[in-house]
Structure 1
Amino acid sequence: MRAIQFARFGGPEVLEAVELPDPVVGPGQVPVEVEAAGVNFSDVRQIAGHNSPPGGLPFVPGTEVIGRDALGRRVMGFTANGYASKAVLDAGDLVVVPGSLGAGEALALLAQGLTALHLLRSSARMRPGESVVVHAGAGGVGSLAVQLARVLGAGRVIATASTEDKRSLARSLGADAAVDGAATGYAERVIEANRGRPVDVVLDAVGGEVFEAALTVLGMFGRLVTYGSAAGRTASPVDPARLVAGNQGVCGFWLKALLAARGLCGAGIGELVDLAVAGRIRPVVGGVYPLGEARRALADLAGRRTVGKVVLKV
């Protein structure tokens, strides 16, 4: 099979196109002829050496694929080595994909869609009418969180993004307002976007100074959900006295732990597929690259030059 692997840690330049034996199909698994593979920031970190690959190097990265199984069904799911023309998926977590969904649209619903759904519903426990701030509102998770917040009844949705083009995209997806997400001046911009009032929910994958700034815009019983630290880890712990004074909460979310407990199908993927097929949410596909151009795909993702979901077409 055709595959992309790396034999040393580094940037996207360490990726190499290779020919490898077909993957071994284990008990409870099914082989899939891959149509496309999802590209995620976790791939960038793994290739850089932050997350050690199971089994060591060389290693084929990629955690999600869509393709055809032996019965000819179009299916998707999580896998161990996705940047390849063939993969194996767990039979119990196969998701049958309607033909009306493009490969990138469908893949966007896996890691990004499930994260967005559970950030709002399970972690933030967002209630109808509440205000929601979505950091990186044009990204893979953010673009879906903006739409899902609207579907779930948010009263006002505010997105942050680094450029006017990205802010315009967030507004087109349903954000009532979109502002620069930089830490300097963050509180003033967000409060103004919320018509002078503190906010109820903030979804943060940026961390660092932006995390600290986001705490200052929470209103009474406000909740901040952290699910990443793109700008670096927060320098200081959250002051409990600050939380007590505002009856506020900070919590975290990690999709991998949820999937380990519930499995893919039990985590809500069917609901997301139904919403997408019905047109109530529109997964954004920001870049489709041939498998052989994995280096460019990873470089563009790491350089923040993409929006929505990035995929490798096989």
Structure 2
Amino acid sequence: MRRVQYEHSGGPEVLEVVSAEVPTPGLGELLVRVEAIGVTLPVVRKVREPREPIPLGGEIAGEVVAVGEGVTSCMPGYRVTGLCFGHGYAEYALLNSAMASTIPDGASAVDAVALVRSGLVALGALDAARPQPGESALITAAASGVGHLAVQLARVRGAERVVAAVSDLAKAEFLYELGVDEVVAYPQESWGEPADYALDAVGGELLGPALAALAPGGRLVAYSSGGGTIQAYDLLVGAKSVIGFQMARVARETPDIYEHWRQELWQYFASGQLRPAVHAEFPLAEAAHAHTAIETRANLGKVVLIP
């Protein structure tokens, strides 16, 4: 089979397609013939980290072709999606059965990788903000794979006003089509009327402006891998709060909530309330182009690899 990997850290140019053996599923694992792979910012960032190369994991979707010992929930022939922690940029990949979610009839593998993992992060971050009907929401990186779902979910959960913050106002038309009320660009000083809560996927130097864009008593949910710091005084002066959200912790410690969110996402998809958008579908051999789309912030929605 073909697989994408890299030998040393660097930009997208270090990715290469190699020949590899089809893996054998172990205890609790599924062997999936991969039909679609969701490219994520954390994986793109890891390729640049000055450390030993790691397997390119991420969201995968496809058909189960074999199962390991102890698997009773997903049999060969099932169509599933889930987060692969091993080599996911491949024609065949191993998926822990506990991370697998069945793809319902009428949905494609591309729909699945555009919706489930990104949607889980968006929905989890939104729940962490404790939204109330009639409140206003601010979403950063709003045109990203997670962000474009978050703006829709905020509306579904009762937001009266949804503000999308992006790096380039050229993305505004895409976001207005998704139903947002305002689009603002960072790092400009003012983001308009203060919001009741914000979901930040950028981090770094944007944490401060995102906090400043909140109304008194506002909540900032930080779920970025980009780091950043906030001054305690900026919290005290407006009685604001910052909440950290990590999907891995939810999946590990409260699997019932994780599964409930998965079912909720598919229900929103089936009803037409949630529309996952795909920026582009790249063949496996063009994984470097997929990473470039993420790094340059060019994507409108999800970036997908097709083996």
TM-score by length of 2: 0.90
Return closer, same or farther for 1:46/1:267 CA change in 2, 3 Å cut-off: farther
User: Partner residue of 2:41?
Assistant: 41
User: Partner residue of 1:82?
Assistant: 88
Equivalent residues of 2:42, 2:225 under 8 A apart:
no
SS at match of 1:246: coil
Residue 245 of structure 1, CA deviation: 3.4
Equivalent residues of 1:77, 1:89 under 8 A apart:
yes
Which of 53, 57, 60 in structure 2 is aligned with 1:65? Answer: 60
Residue 62 of structure 1, CA deviation: 2.4
Which of 218, 230, 240 in structure 2 is aligned with 1:248? Answer: 240
Residue 221 of structure 1, CA deviation: 1.6
Counterpart-to-counterpart distance in 2, 1:296 and 1:4: 13
Return closer, same or farther for 1:262/1:109 CA change in 2, 3 Å cut-off: farther
Equivalent residues of 1:108, 1:309 under 8 A apart:
yes
User: Partner residue of 1:194?
Assistant: none
What's the C-alpha RMSD, in Å, of the aligned pairs?
Answer: 1.9
Does residue 1:289 correspond to 2:282, yes or no?
yes
SS at match of 2:174: helix
Residue 267 of structure 1, CA deviation: 5.6
Counterpart-to-counterpart distance in 2, 1:24 and 1:263: 26
Give unpaired runs (5+ residues) of structure 1.
192-197
Return closer, same or farther for 1:274/1:163 CA change in 2, 3 Å cut-off: same
Matches within 5 A, 1:1-314: 1-49=1-49, 57=53, 59-70=54-65, 71-79=76-84, 80-121=86-127, 123-180=128-185, 182-185=186-189, 187=190, 189-191=191-193, 198-228=194-224, 230=226, 233-234=227-228, 236-239=229-232, 241-263=233-255, 265-266=258-259, 268-314=261-307
Counterpart-to-counterpart distance in 1, 2:93 and 2:210: 41
SS at match of 1:47: helix
Return closer, same or farther for 1:220/1:164 CA change in 2, 3 Å cut-off: closer
Return closer, same or farther for 1:209/1:262 CA change in 2, 3 Å cut-off: same
Which aligned runs of 4 or more in structure 1 are off by greater than 3 angstroms?
none
Residue 30 of structure 1, CA deviation: 1.4
SS at match of 1:212: helix
Equivalent residues of 1:93, 1:263 under 8 A apart:
no
* 1:73-100 residue CA offsets vs partner (Å, 9 max, x unmatched): 2111111211000011122332111242
Residue 131 of structure 1, CA deviation: 0.4
Counterpart-to-counterpart distance in 2, 1:118 and 1:60: 26
SS at match of 1:69: strand
Residue 103 of structure 1, CA deviation: 2.4
Residue 217 of structure 1, CA deviation: 2.4
Residue 229 of structure 1, CA deviation: 5.5
User: Partner residue of 1:195?
Assistant: none
Return closer, same or farther for 1:287/1:200 CA change in 2, 3 Å cut-off: same
Counterpart-to-counterpart distance in 2, 1:214 and 1:89: 36
Amino acid at match of 2:262: I
Residue 242 of structure 1, CA deviation: 3.5
TM-score by length of 1: 0.88
Counterpart-to-counterpart distance in 1, 2:188 and 2:192: 11
Counterpart-to-counterpart distance in 1, 2:205 and 2:10: 27
Residue 210 of structure 1, CA deviation: 2.5
Counterpart-to-counterpart distance in 1, 2:82 and 2:126: 22
Residue 44 of structure 1, CA deviation: 1.2
Residue 219 of structure 1, CA deviation: 1.5
